[in-house]
Amino acid sequence: MTADLRGKVALVAGATRGAGRGIAVELGAAGATVYVTGRTTRARPSEYMRPETIEETADLVTSAGGKGIAVPVDHLVAAQVEALVARIRSEAGRLDILVNDIWGCEKLFEWDKPVWDHSLDKGLRMLQLGIETHLITAHYALALVIERPGGLLVEVTDGTAEYNANHYRLSPFYDLVKTGVTRMAWAHAQDLAKHGATAVSITPGWLRSEMMLEAYGVREENWRDAIEAQPHFAISETPRFVGRAIAAISADPERARWNGQSLSSGGLAKVYGFDDVDGSRPDCWRYLVEVQEPGKPADVTGYR
């Protein structure tokens, strides 16, 4: 399936790197105009001190066939988000797709720590970056989305509702953010349906983000070299895979059927027939439950 989003306008909030970048590029590949936001620019890095920038993402969107527009925004600052939406209204006159992928917490969560052992400052900062930013952005941007019927909100999280319902996700702070985003999408769906719009939450699988690849000491070109150290990494996927999932939903004239649902890149690949960039279809969340968690040897046969 090839999505056609020519004439559509999207905002990918949190598109500097990782899933956000992959989503923006795939929306561009489908022909959309994509506003990409984040805090890291060529002139001013964020506290991440990473090399990826929103200008780089915008260039990738344009190279893919769309029109990428980079706008520096701190989504915790309401005035900046309000100005962003005013700019989109002035320049494009519409907003068809809002993707809330704001996160920025990889350096904040502490693995397997109860609330009394976890840094309180880091934990509360996670709630700000992972929940408040999404609500602030939705407050301003959805008012523009609903001006035309058929709009779409995508809330990006980690884990499906089914998986997270009986899996403790690292710490109370991380758990709350990731399950909260799913519930947020469901809540927005109740309001958006009245305006002919759709809201969903979506999760990638084991994401080969820039930071994940760096952690394993590999690049995308040789990512399989990391499988020796972590065999289950064989089920991992590129950020473009979840991007293709969102492009597919965005182009689906019957996307309202998904309203309020928790979705995954692997699950949607079965419905829409798209592949990851290597031609495979990794189904990470089923693999985790059926292979990795029971302690079976790593084997992606039937899962990608």
Q: What is the pLDDT of residues 244-275, one digit of tens each?
A: 999 999 999 999 999 999 999 999 999 999 99
Q: What is the pLDDT of residues 61-87, one digit of tens each?
A: 999 999 999 999 999 999 999 999 999
**Distance between CA atoms of residues 73 and 217, nearest Å:** 31
In a domain, 201, yes or no: yes
* Cβ(200)–Cβ(263) below 8 Å: yes
In a domain, 3, yes or no: no
Percent of the chain's residues with pLDDT above 90: 93
Residue 179's pLDDT is what? 97
Torsion, CA 249, CA 66, CA 13, CA 136, rounded to 10: -80
In a domain, 221, yes or no: no
Measuring CA to CA, which residue among 160, 186, 183, 164 is closest to residue 175? 164
- Tokens 């190279």: give the residue: 63
CATH of the domain at 253: 3.40.50.720
In a domain, 220, yes or no: no
Structure tokens at 136: 């602030």
In a domain, 284, yes or no: no
* Cβ(281)–Cβ(304) below 8 Å: yes
Residue 1's pLDDT is what? 52
Q: What is the pLDDT of residues 2-26, one digit of tens each?
A: 789 999 999 999 999 999 999 999 9
In a domain, 232, yes or no: no
Number of domains in the chain: 1
- For 61, the domain range is 9-206+240-276
**Distance between CA atoms of residues 234 and 299, nearest Å:** 8
Q: What is the pLDDT of residues 162-211, one digit of tens each?
A: 999 999 999 999 999 999 999 999 999 999 999 999 999 999 999 999 99
Report helix, strand or coil for 152: strand
Cα–Cα distances in Å, from 150 out to 78, 94, 128, 269? Answer: 26, 12, 30, 22
Measuring CA to CA, which residue among 284, 234, 288, 248 is closest to residue 264? 284
**DSSP 8-state secondary structure symbol assigned to residue 199:** E
**Distance between CA atoms of residues 159 and 263, nearest Å:** 9
Tally of residues, the chain: 304
In a domain, 286, yes or no: no
* Cβ(243)–Cβ(25) below 8 Å: yes
Give the residue-averaged pLDDT of 138-167: 97
Report helix, strand or coil for 160: coil
In a domain, 169, yes or no: yes
What is the reported pTM? 0.97
Report helix, strand or coil for 96: coil
Bridge pairing between strands 9-13 and 262-264: unpaired
CB atoms within 10 A of CB 175: 16
**Torsion sign, CA atoms 243, 208, 201, 154:** negative
**Distance between CA atoms of residues 99 and 246, nearest Å:** 9
